[in-house]
Amino acid sequence: MELSIRAATLEDCKDISRMILELAVYEKVEDQVKITQKDLEQDGFSKNPFFHAVIAEVPEEHRTKDGHTKIGYSLYFYTYSSWKGRAVYMEDLYVMPEFRGKGIGKALMSKVAQLGLAAGCTQLNFAVLDWNRPSLDFYLSQGCWDVTSDLGYHCMRCEGEALHTLAQRDL
């Protein structure tokens, strides 16, 4: 199948927003999505973007039954490891269900890896749900490894009221 993997543009935000919701439904957390198309436009395409994205796009003759040609995406941003230096974090990797198993996820992930290496990154980091065996198997087949089981790290988060309380603490 003919496929294009390219940098996302401002005009892609509507489709990225749609696919973020599709991913959240698949992961059974659609109630957690608070981001809007406008947030994506501002946060990804301003003077100092918070994220970058790549899009998988098929020609019109392969569009979905709903008329979509943008059928996958990966959202990523750059981070820094105090031990290893520059790193790239892949926040999302998503391919619409009817296009899975065709190498599109691998192509998207490969593009993020290429961009990371070009930026001097030494590692690609991401998280995957423990119940998502197809994704775990896919990532392992790409040469990735589970930092949680091998190094014992846990991914932590602080948000909402706890984040506000933490920010207000005095020394």
Q: Which residues are catalytic?
A: 139
CB 117: neighbour CB atoms within 10 A? 13
Cβ-count burial 73-101 (b if 16+ within 10 Å, e if not):
bbbbbeeeeeeeeebbbbebbbbbeebee
Which of 48, 44, 46 shows the shortest CA–CA distance to 20?
A: 44
DSSP structural state of residue 103: S
Radius of gyration of the chain (CA): 17
Which of 23, 11, 89, 88 shows the shortest CA–CA distance to 55?
A: 11
Helices 13-26 and 37-44 sit at what angle, rounded to 10 degrees? 120
**What is residue 49's three-state secondary structure?**
coil
